[in-house]
Amino acid sequence: MNAMIALMTSPLQHPVPQHLIVGSFDSPIPLWVFLIAAGATILATALYRPPARDGVMLPPPPPSQMFPMLVARLLALTGPIAVIWVIAQGLMGGSSIARVDVLFLWHAGWVVVPVLAALGLPIYPLIDPWRRLSLLLRRNASRELPDGPVAPARSGLVGVAAIIALELIWTGGRGGPALFVAVLIHGAWVVSGRLAASDPERWAAAHDPVLIVNRFLGDFSRRQLVGNPDAAQVQMRTRPTDTSCATTFALTSLLVGAVIYDGLSQTEVWFQLFGLPNSPVRAMILIVVVAVIGLLSLLAAQSNDAGERSTAEARARVVAGLRPVAIGYILAHYGPSILAAAPYWLVAVADPLQRGWNLFGLAYVASNLPPLPGLAVWGVQVGAVVGGHVAGIRAAHQLGLTDRRSQVATALLLVTLTMLTLWTLGQAVVASS
């Protein structure tokens, strides 16, 4: 992520691993891969022919199915273990190359689990440790997960923005005291809100920023968990998506803009333009980037023929197009570094409290694992970006994108963002030596 950018100690610069959270992956996509991906993007956009029928054309939903309860029970233990481990490390101090706050919160919680939701495995409600704690404190509360769409509240949107700023501006994707305090603040907010709400599950779906992101990306697969996870009744089934409200539209611009900013802010061109600005300046630039993405999205939403569609329907169409694009960008930007950092989970188990231990010799095992093959990673990155682009075009058409002006505006928006993302993936990251 933005962890490689720090205050300069000398004027010399050199490339470092790209889009790094922790771990190492230093293999930006070469020019020939970029050209193939760019050509595929343009061809896919130009050759796509939607069905002639107007109106909403969503594919038939997959059948409902019971979620395996053994898996649900194991997942329910994961969240509390993660929080206890993070708090223990925060209180014990020490240092390690494998901090569990980074692994659990930035890697698993902010990237892996939401992407799994997008792929049809919405497991966060089972993992959520704050849900579990609130149920212990309020045993008579409803345990039924909300069925159907829930629009994010403004407070939830502010929470998503705060987490993005924490990652990109203040911590740079690293751990430490700021992340430790943020975990406690988030937990206090969610638990207190759940305890005060008449329907805690629906309140969390609208106000918990982590759950909001999981539900938003999970809408791509149209799968949700319903029922009571604590009574062997939880199942996965299809839900309608709520993409027309203003807060969902703002959430889309925020997530796409954050990934675009993250990629751009680590390139040599960016460094030549802005240098290594301090946190307030970086925050202002991030706001500008998100605002530009939001403005472009708004222009695309308002480009339909006069009077043909309502504002809500136009927003829904743009949101449907940008959601798979955001998923592809997240996979391409953060997937390689998360895979490269996988051995650090072994290091974390070997030294759980950052005391310099090497339990079971796992640290040696981690150091001997082979590096990621560059060609395979390039294929995953390009496939994620171009695949997200094609899925976005298709999703926009499924919601009734039929007038020519709307088709051109949405296609131009998606092509521009896709080309920009492919370009950033081909740049070596600049950091101080």
Task: Write the secondary structure of 214-260 as one string of H (helix), E (strand) and C (coil).
Answer: HHHHHCCCCEEEEECHHHCCCEEEECCCCCCCHHHHHHHHHHHHHHH
Instruction: Copy the structure tokens of residue 313.
Output: 């329907």
| Amino acid 36: pLDDT | 73
Identify whether 1 is part of a domain. Answer: no
Which of 73-87, 188-202, 352-366, 412-426 shows the lowest mean pLDDT across its residues? Answer: 352-366
Paired strand residues for 235: 66, 226
Q: Is the pLDDT of residue 203 over 90?
A: yes
Q: Are 204 and 193 in contact (CB under 8 A)?
A: yes
Give 75-138 as a DSSP string: HHHHHHHHHHHHHHHHHH----SS-HHIIIIIIIIIIIHHHHHHTT---HHHH-HHHHHHHHH-
Identify whether 8 is part of a domain. Answer: no
Give the residue with greater pLDDT, 130 vs 374: 130
Q: Is the pLDDT of residue 297 over 90?
A: no
User: Which pLDDT tens digit goes with each residue over 391-425?
Assistant: 888 877 766 555 567 667 777 888 888 888 888 87
Give the residue with greater pLDDT, 315 vs 432: 315
SS3 category, 406: helix
User: Which pLDDT tens digit goes with each residue over 135-184?
Assistant: 888 877 777 777 777 888 899 999 999 999 999 998 888 878 888 899 99
Identify whether 3 is part of a domain. Answer: no
Q: If you average pLDDT over every residue of the chain, what do you get?
A: 77
SS3 category, 373: coil
Identify whether 295 is part of a domain. Answer: yes
**Rounded to the nearest 5°, which phi and psi values hold at 430?**
-100, 135
Identify whether 93 is part of a domain. Answer: yes
**In angstroms, how far apart are the furthest CA atoms of the chain?**
68
**Who's near 225: CB < 8 A, 6+ residues apart?**
67, 122, 123, 125, 126, 145, 234, 235, 236
Identify whether 5 is part of a domain. Answer: no
Residue with tokens 């188990």: 349
Find the domain containing 156 and state its range: 13-432
Categorize the per-residue pLDDT at 192 as very low, low, confident or very high, splitting at 50, 70 and 90.
very high
Q: Are 289 and 417 in contact (CB under 8 A)?
A: no
Residue with tokens 């898996």: 71
Q: pTM for the complete prediction?
A: 0.83
Identify whether 7 is part of a domain. Answer: no
User: Which pLDDT tens digit goes with each residue over 220-257?
Assistant: 887 777 777 666 556 666 665 566 678 888 899 999 99
**How far is the C-alpha of 124 from the C-alpha of 115, rounded, in Å?**
11
User: Which pLDDT tens digit goes with each residue over 358-403?
Assistant: 887 777 676 666 766 667 777 788 888 888 888 888 877 766 555 5
Sheet holding 235-238, edge to edge: 65-66, 235-238, 223-226
Task: Give the Å distances, CA to CA, from 303 to 46, 271, 292, 403.
Answer: 19, 35, 17, 9
Give the number of other CB atoms < 10 A from CB of residue 71. 12
Number of domains forming the structure of the chain: 1
Instruction: Copy the structure tokens of residue 18.
Output: 């790209």
Identify whether 6 is part of a domain. Answer: no
| Amino acid 13: pLDDT | 34
Average pLDDT over residues 109-132: 90
